[in-house]
Chain A
Amino acid sequence: EIVMTQSPATLSVSPGERATLSCRASQNVSTYLAWYQRKPGQAPRLLIYGASTRATGLPARFSGSGSGTEFTLTISSLQSEDFALYFCQQYNNWWTFGQGTKVE
């Protein structure tokens, strides 16, 4: 099983600041990596797939990068609606998920 590890567990940032979230895979997953956002009481929302492709309608302040085993999600200027839990997921070999980073 491919283990996904996210860091940090919690990220404290202020509105307007840059947020950088990391995700590491225990094996090479190429660019078969997605990022999701989850807010309380809501369904998770796909943000990024293919490591760097934004989902339809996603604001340009969200960007993804990386390949192989190291990946990053960057929110360039945090808005109030961006405070949420973010988790990564590999889909190179079925699906496994990171534990999430809470942006507060």
Chain B
Amino acid sequence: QVHLVESGGGLVKPGGSLKLSCAASGFNFIDYYMTWIRQAPGKGLEWVSYITSSGTYTNYADSVKGRFTISRDNAKNALHLHMNSLRAEDTAVYYCVRVTPTPSGSLIDYWGQGTLVTVSS
């Protein structure tokens, strides 16, 4: 059974940093692309960042480009999101999400329960 468990959320001051982690189990982690998706209070879901199975290629939403870094440790079945220069608008629940390539596109198929990041002074 696929299991994704996020950790590392919490309260941080504007301009601060935080590292989110996701522990993956129940599938062959190295075979899958992974992504982070967030939902701010009262807002819709927003894709944040994406990483290929080997970690060679990454991409970011414009709203976090230059401030966030996605990485993975395939030996430990772990996904990370390093967040710097945090802003109030980064306050959100952050979800670790698995991506499965299919003939009809890159499908998001499994989600974690999310971890809350609050940026406030």
Contact = CB atoms under 8 A, between A and B. Distances in A.
B26 interface: no
B108 interface: yes
Interface stretch (B12-20, B76-84, B98-106): B98-106
A55 B111 CA distance: 14
Contact of A41 (B37, B46, B113): B113
A31 B104 contact: yes
A44 B114 CA distance: 10
A46 B100 CA distance: 12
A32 B105 CA distance: 7
A47 to B, nearest CB: 11
A46 B108 contact: yes
Chain A interface size band reads 20 to 34
Nearest to B112: A43
Contact of B106 (A44, A87, A91): A91
| Most chain A beta-carbon neighbours within 10 Å: one of B44, B106, B110 | B44
Interface of B: 4, 35, 37, 44-47, 50, 95, 102, 104-114
Interface of A: 30-32, 34, 36, 41-46, 49-50, 55, 87, 89, 91-92, 94-100
